């Protein structure tokens, strides 16, 4: 299923900036922008990531199954006579043209072949005549788009194919499985773009966190995505209840995987050992525990919608934990205090709005789960200590559980040879130019912190490459559209 733009699109173009596939047209600056009745999504290239819907201020961008057939057809027909563009192509309908070198950087290294690095490489190819060498410590391209995005989002993962195409450009050299060293790069390139991401998990800082049954969500994500070097399950999975601390998209990704029944797991592209371990886990209840209230939940509406759409899984907000959120407590409850899913009327709203439609129930977390598959959303609850035998002690009591997963975000690691802001976990920079280190640039999560989906790295990389080319010896040759 793809997304479409329907209804009252106000053409503010918020969605264009976050679309990883350049699927939304006409974009600002291109012919037709401002003259068409809103914008349209190309169903041939949309990868179903939901980023457009998450930023749309008027709920005009939505999954195709929530639009009318006429609206779906309007989007399709806009592109009927136009060639399919993807993230490597120019934003106009013309093919890219490249001119011989008469200035600008001759050789640029891009360290990191995740989304940010690949968007930066694409931008360098588009706007300069530089040769681009892409390094990654992993043997394949994609970064977290390949080894982070959940296996039940196969369309989103398709973007890796587009990134792979960047490597096929005649001015690109690809150095897989290579750990880049700053000093060596300085001798060989006119400029270096560091796109190394930030994938170190934040820690809960509670006693027992490193004990049996407990690990970071990042470790689980690397395992279920088959990341090279991660060969075994980080902790034994022990049902019937697992607790995930964190209220972001990664927490929901992990919850969906853990709660999936055999039938759903069979339909996912998983390494066989991963599928077998999930089938054997015995987990039938996942508690997603947020330290703050529902109004602070960081997950996107599309991620929450995915959770609520799980077949045969009851999703319930634990009403006991809404004592700091009186507005949400006032929402209607289901019969017998049990959740039954989301009400139809709120399906197209943002995450907080969507949350209002999830049924509330008073969940007895001190006891073992009752039969059936269930996800319990708890708020305003602080984890205090973990013990594999007893479970998770919180400021509200003890929750018996076999596993604890921390999904409270990521932080960058220092790049040897570059300055580092320990507090923010980023390399300090001015629009991508590393402070105090001419010739070095950053993009992606190591530039702005671990936040934002794949598409957000596109505008981020464009800004960095603009800074790089502005500082390079002029004139810098560009593609025909500039």
Q: Which residues of this chain interact with ligand FAD, rule CB under 6 A?
A: 49, 51, 111-117, 135-138, 143-145, 148-149, 153, 156, 179-180, 195-197, 199, 221, 250, 253, 444-445, 452-454, 457
Say if CB 266 and CB 224 are below 8 A apart: no
Give the nearer residue to ligand FAD in terms of CB position, either 226 or 452: 452
Q: Are strands 61-63 and 40-41 parallel, antiparallel or unpaired?
A: unpaired
Report the DSSP beta bridge partners of residue 183: none
CA distance 285 to 255: 9
Stretch that binds ligand SF4, among 14-22, 336-344, 397-405, 443-451 (CB under 6 A): 14-22
Residue of 25, 40, 56, 195 that binds ligand SF4 (CB under 6 A): 56
Based on the shown chain and the rule CB under 6 A, indicate whether residue 472 belongs to the binding site for ligand SF4.
no
Shortest Å distance, C-beta 6 to ligand SF4: 9
Backbone angles phi, psi at 383, to 5 degrees: -70, 140
Residue 58 binds which entry of ligand FAD, ligand SF4, none, CB below 5-8 Å type-dependent = ligand SF4
Residue 113 binds which entry of ligand FAD, ligand SF4, none, CB below 5-8 Å type-dependent = ligand FAD
Give the nearer residue to ligand SF4 in terms of CB position, either 23 or 260: 23
Diameter over CA atoms, the chain: 75
Site string for ligand SF4, 419-458 (x = CB under 6 A): ------------------------------------x---
Nearest Cα residue to 18 out of 350, 457, 349: 457
Q: Are strands 429-430 and 433-434 parallel, antiparallel or unpaired?
A: antiparallel
DSSP state of 239: -
Nearest Cα residue to 191 out of 253, 113, 260, 111: 111
Based on the shown chain and the rule CB under 6 A, indicate whether residue 74 belongs to the binding site for ligand SF4.
no
Which SS3 state, helix, strand or coil, does residue 229 take? coil
Residue of 10, 84, 330, 414 that binds ligand SF4 (CB under 6 A): 10
Shortest Å distance, C-beta 157 to ligand SF4: 12
Structure tokens at 69: 């057939």
Based on the shown chain and the rule CB under 6 A, indicate whether residue 60 belongs to the binding site for ligand SF4.
yes
Based on the shown chain and the rule CB under 6 A, indicate whether residue 104 belongs to the binding site for ligand SF4.
no
Based on the shown chain and the rule CB under 6 A, indicate whether residue 87 belongs to the binding site for ligand SF4.
no
Stretch that binds ligand SF4, among 50-58, 256-264, 336-344, 368-376 (CB under 6 A): 50-58
For residue 147, give Cα distances in angstroms to 44, 114, 155, 456, 472. 24, 10, 14, 18, 34
Report the DSSP beta bridge partners of residue 61: 5
Residue 24 binds which entry of ligand SF4, ligand FAD, none, CB below 5-8 Å type-dependent = ligand SF4
Based on the shown chain and the rule CB under 6 A, indicate whether residue 66 belongs to the binding site for ligand SF4.
no
Say if CB 212 and CB 461 are below 8 A apart: no
Residue nearest to ligand FAD as judged by C-beta position: 114
Say if CB 173 and CB 132 are below 8 A apart: yes
Based on the shown chain and the rule CB under 6 A, indicate whether residue 301 belongs to the binding site for ligand SF4.
no
- Sign, CA dihedral 12-342-20-178, equals positive
Based on the shown chain and the rule CB under 6 A, indicate whether residue 41 belongs to the binding site for ligand SF4.
yes
Strand order in the sheet with 172-175: 172-175, 131-135, 107-111, 191-194, 440-442, 433-434, 429-430
- Binding residues vs ligand SF4 (CB under 6 A): 3, 5, 9-15, 18-21, 23-24, 38-39, 41, 46-52, 55-56, 58, 60-61, 455
């Amino acid at each position: 299923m793809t997304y479409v733009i329907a209804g009252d699109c106000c053409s503010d173009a918020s969605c264009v900036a976050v679309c990883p596939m350049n699927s939304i047209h006409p974009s600002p600056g291109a012919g037709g922008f401002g003259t068409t009745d809103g914008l349209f999504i190309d169903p041939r290239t949309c990868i179903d990531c939901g980023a457009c819907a998450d930023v749309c201020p008027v709920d005009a961008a939505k999954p195709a199954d929530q639009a009318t057939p006429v609206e779906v057809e309007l989007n399709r027909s806009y592109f009927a006579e136009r060639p399919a563009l993807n993230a490597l192509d120019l934003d106009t309908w013309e093919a890219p043209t490249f001119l011989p070198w008469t200035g600008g950087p001759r050789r640029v290294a891009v360290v990191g072949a995740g989304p940010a690095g690949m968007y930066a490489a694409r931008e360098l190819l588009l706007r300069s005549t530089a040769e681009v060498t892409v390094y990654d410590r992993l043997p394949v391209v994609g970064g977290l788009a390949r080894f982070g995005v959940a296996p039940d989002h196969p369309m989103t993962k398709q973007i890796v194919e587009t990134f792979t195409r960047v490597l096929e450009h005649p001015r690109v050299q690809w150095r897989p499985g290579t750990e880049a060293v700053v000093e060596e790069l300085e001798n060989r390139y006119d400029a270096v773009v560091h796109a190394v991401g930030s994938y170190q998990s934040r820690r809960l800082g509670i006693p027992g966190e490193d004990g049996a049954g407990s690990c970071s969500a990042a470790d689980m994500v690397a395992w279920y995505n088959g990341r090279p070097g991660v060969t075994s399950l980080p902790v034994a999975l022990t049902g019937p209840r697992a607790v995930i601390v964190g209220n972001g998209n990664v927490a929901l990704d992990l919850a969906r995987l853990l709660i999936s029944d055999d039938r759903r797991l069979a339909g996912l592209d998983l390494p066989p050992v991963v599928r077998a371990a999930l089938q054997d886990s015995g987990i039938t209840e996942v508690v997603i525990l947020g330290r703050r209230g529902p109004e602070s939940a960081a997950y996107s509406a599309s991620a929450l919608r995915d959770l609520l759409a799980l077949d045969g899984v009851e999703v319930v907000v634990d009403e006991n934990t809404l004592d700091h959120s009186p507005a949400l407590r006032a929402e209607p409850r289901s019969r017998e205090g049990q959740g039954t899913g989301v009400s139809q009327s709120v399906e197209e709203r943002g995450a907080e709005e969507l949350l209002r439609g999830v049924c509330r129930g008073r969940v007895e977390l001190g006891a073992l789960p009752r039969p059936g598959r269930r996800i319990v959303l708890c708020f305003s609850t602080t984890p205090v200590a973990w013990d594999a035998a007893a479970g998770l002690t919180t400021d509200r009591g003890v929750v018996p559980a076999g596993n604890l997963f921390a999904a409270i975000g990521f932080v960058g690691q220092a790049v040897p040879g570059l300055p580092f802001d320990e507090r923010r976990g980023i390399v300090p920079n001015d629009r991508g130019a590393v402070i105090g280190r001419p010739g070095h640039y950053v993009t992606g999560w190591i530039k702005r912190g671990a936040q934002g989906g794949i598409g957000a790295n596109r505008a981020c990389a464009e800004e960095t490459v603009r800074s790089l080319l502005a500082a390079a010896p002029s004139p810098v040759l560009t593609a025909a559209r500039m």
